Structure 1
Amino acid sequence: MAAKALLKTFMRPRDADAIRADIAAIDAAEAARAQAAVEAAARRQELVIEGDVAALEAHDGRVRRLGMESEVATAKRARLVEELETARAADEQARRRALYEKGLRASRAAAKLRTEDYARLAAQIAAVLEQIESHREAIRTANAALPDGAAPVFDPEAAMHEPPRPPVPIKSRRRTFRDGPNGVVEEVWQEHEFTLDHGHNGVPRPALAEAVMLPGTSYRAVPFWPQLAK
């Protein structure tokens, strides 16, 4: 079991950050080799002039090794770039998988809220609205046949109607300019009067029973409110 776990650790794909670090190390080493190659070219000319064949041979050996190291590094870098693309794709799939799992949990939670919490609360609200409508019917019946001298029974739904606000007269001064004598522009202040309309003209608002809509928990389910005729 320990051997299998160790093998899985070595076979596990590396993450993108680790691969980028390896690519950066290769690039840094390649930059150093490039600089060394420039210096080696200048040094070789000196060795030729000096006539030291052994030193020239050793120098050329080091230059060839630099070339081989660069060739190996280029191939390794190409493999790392491919590995990086694979790691990026795996990271993207992991990100999408996490979002997908989150969506699945949200779907289950929403379904539970809809079929349990919403259904319970909607049924309670529908019962309240039914009672309000029953009371309103009693109020309408009483107001339709008031005893002599009795004031109309107050309908609480009247609180939904906003009383009108009267317009407010406003005076203001406006600065304008006009051509004066001799082509001189003059500043003129003019007084204006206008009426500020709040836009509230006592428009009735719908009663609660008319404004509220509580659909069922599915497309074909009977709505909680408004209730269908019995």
Structure 2
Amino acid sequence: MLATIRKMLTSAPHAPPSAATIAAAIDHLDVKMVEARAALAAADDRRADAVLLGDAAAADVRQTITALAENLTDLTAARDRLVERLASARAAEAEVERQARYDAAKAAAEAASKALRSKYTPAIATLRSLLRQLETAQALAEAANADLPEGAAPIGDPEIAVRGIPWQHAEVISETKVERWVQSGGDPRFPVSIEDEAKLKVTGTDRAVMMVQRPIGGGSVEHTSIPYERVKLIEIVKRPGVGGQVAPQMRDLHLPGLRLSDGTYSPPGYFAGHAAIIALLDEAERPVSAAAAAVNAPEPVTEYRAVPIEASATRDRFELSLPATAEAA
């Protein structure tokens, strides 16, 4: 009966069955135990009839019941052992998964550290060089704009030209002659909307009124009419002007070196001049001396702890462990 289960659990050397295989074996074993219990119940049900038929028949049934009971005991014991192995297999597989995640994370961390060591310093050097170039160009542009040649257009900020939105003047898209209703004596720039024209009641040529309600106090309202007239207008469709917008500037970046002791460029403030920023870049790029880069080792310290000594018949105490020089003193 256990041959199928034994076959399910047979595996190559050093490759124990998986948790899924053991679970399947337990399911198969559960089916066999149900069958065994049913067979044992049927045999026990035949016991009384066998006794009435004679000693030989009764002996055969008792032998069958004993064999079935032993088989059920064996199946129960086997199932209990498989449950233990299932728990161990699941724990082992979970550990394999944890180890795999750990190995992958460790490899990713080592790769990131390697990339940082090889790529960070050149990247920072590139950004600092770019910032230096921008600041120099902006300083030259400001100086040139302060004394422009005749007819020359001012030079725009080189960073805003790439990373910002330059000033855009208003643009007229179309101009069309139209006829619209306007309140009599009102501002022609604000004609009645197309939706509200349905509320107008035409009273004559190019004349109309709109009935409205006005509160007069005490919860009462009065109905009044507002006169409108139809006039000729020029409908102008245009794209409004947009002021220049600037992304965070390069000068606002914090550009530390790779190591703690390396030079660092930090933003000097919004109103800092170009010369001040270039001076900060010079300072950040200046090689750090070996003495400044060295990390001082901490001085050794002395600590004490109480240690137990063997208890005597009359006392149980702790003695303080002191340095040899102190004991000698």
TM-score, length-scaled by structure 1: 0.70
Asked if 1 retains the 8 angstrom alpha-carbon contact of 2:134 and 2:159, the reply is no
Asked if 2 retains the 8 angstrom alpha-carbon contact of 1:136 and 1:155, the reply is yes
Following TM superposition, by how much is the alpha carbon of 1:94 offset from its aligned partner in structure 2, in angstroms? 0.7
Number of matched residues?
Answer: 194
Larger Rg: 2
Give the equivalent residue in structure 2 for 1:153: 155
Which aligned pairs between 1:192-211 and structure 2 lie closer than 5 A? 202=243, 204-206=245-247, 208-211=249-252
Q: 1:26 aligns with which of 29, 32, 40?
A: 29
Following TM superposition, by how much is the alpha carbon of 1:118 offset from its aligned partner in structure 2, in angstroms? 3.0
Q: 2:45 aligns with which of 36, 42, 47?
A: 42
Which consecutive unaligned segments of at least 5 residues does structure 1 have? Answer: 1-8, 175-199
Higher relative contact order, chain-length normalized (CA < 8 Å, sep 6+): 1
Give the equivalent residue in structure 2 for 1:123: 125
The CA RMSD over aligned residues, in Å, is: 3.2
CA distance in 1, matches of 2:152, 2:244: 28
Asked if 2 retains the 8 angstrom alpha-carbon contact of 1:143 and 1:152, the reply is yes
| Residues 81 and 207 (structure 1), Cα distance of their counterparts in 2 relative to 1, 3 Å cut | closer
Give the equivalent residue in structure 2 for 1:103: 105
CA distance in 2, matches of 1:147, 1:26: 98
Which aligned pairs between 1:3-152 and structure 2 lie closer than 5 A? 10=13, 13-49=16-52, 51-152=53-154
Per-residue displacement from partner, 1:8-49 (whole Å, max 9, x unpaired)? x65654321232233223212111101112222332233234
More helix by share: 1
Which secondary structure does the structure 1 equivalent of 2:21 belong to?
A: helix
Percent sequence identity over matched residues? 30
Per-residue displacement from partner, 1:87-123 (whole Å, max 9, x unpaired)? 1111111111011110111011101121212322332
CA distance in 2, matches of 1:165, 1:60: 108
Which secondary structure does the structure 1 equivalent of 2:46 belong to?
A: helix
Per-residue displacement from partner, 1:197-220 (whole Å, max 9, x unpaired)? xxx963631464235444433455
Per-residue displacement from partner, 1:114-156 (whole Å, max 9, x unpaired)? 1212322332232122112211111111112224444322333
Give the equivalent residue in structure 1 for 2:179: none
| Residues 11 and 141 (structure 1), Cα distance of their counterparts in 2 relative to 1, 3 Å cut | closer
CA distance in 1, matches of 2:166, 2:136: 24
Which secondary structure does the structure 2 equivalent of 1:38 belong to?
A: helix
| Residues 94 and 40 (structure 1), Cα distance of their counterparts in 2 relative to 1, 3 Å cut | same
CA distance in 2, matches of 1:102, 1:11: 24
Give the equivalent residue in structure 1 for 2:311: none
TM-score, length-scaled by structure 2: 0.51
Q: What letter matches 1:157 in structure 2?
A: E
> 153-162 or 106-115, which moves further after superposition?
153-162
| Residues 220 and 31 (structure 1), Cα distance of their counterparts in 2 relative to 1, 3 Å cut | farther
| Residues 85 and 60 (structure 1), Cα distance of their counterparts in 2 relative to 1, 3 Å cut | same
Asked if 1 retains the 8 angstrom alpha-carbon contact of 2:121 and 2:258, the reply is yes
2:257 is the alignment partner of 1:216: yes
| Residues 107 and 61 (structure 1), Cα distance of their counterparts in 2 relative to 1, 3 Å cut | same
Per-residue displacement from partner, 1:169-196 (whole Å, max 9, x unpaired)? 9x6859xxxxxxxxxxxxxxxxxxxxxx
